[in-house]
Amino acid sequence: MVFLALRSLKRLGYQVRGISDPVQALALFEEDPSAFDVVVSDISMPGMSGFELSRGLRRVRPDVPIVITSGFIRESDRSLAKEIGVQALILKPDTATELAQVLQSIWIERRMES
């Protein structure tokens, strides 16, 4: 999934990094939080959930936009995402197209805030 998302986003002109290990991803983010405009994660990952990763990201940089994907989204996932401040929670089958739309809306929103 990481490879497919990277390829799709690169084709759309985004500069992306793909890391399948959430512990490594958090460590990389902690090294240079300003190098990231948005973080995309899955809910289910080995070693750390997307929600745990999101909490770690928020501790380092509370304003970073976070998008979480999943093959199945429960109402409790939606509630937790909202509580953490996740910008979008999207289903995997539509990830490439929907992710691009979500990222575009995040850029527009951030420009309007500036």
Select from 83, 46, 79, 81 the least CA-distant residue to 66: 81
Q: What domains are defined for the chain?
A: 20-113 (3.40.50.2300)
pLDDT digits over 54-87, tens only?
Answer: 999 999 999 999 999 999 999 999 999 999 999 9
Q: Is the pLDDT of residue 95 over 90?
A: no
* Residues 12-24, mean pLDDT to the nearest whole number: 92
Read off the pTM: 0.90
Q: Count CA atoms within 13 Å of residue 66 on its CB side.
A: 29
| Residue 4 pLDDT | 81
DSSP 41: E
| Residue 77 pLDDT | 97
How far is residue 33's CA from residue 35's CA, in Å, rounded to a whole number? Answer: 5
| Residue 93 pLDDT | 63
- Other beta carbons within 10 angstroms of residue 43's beta carbon come to 21
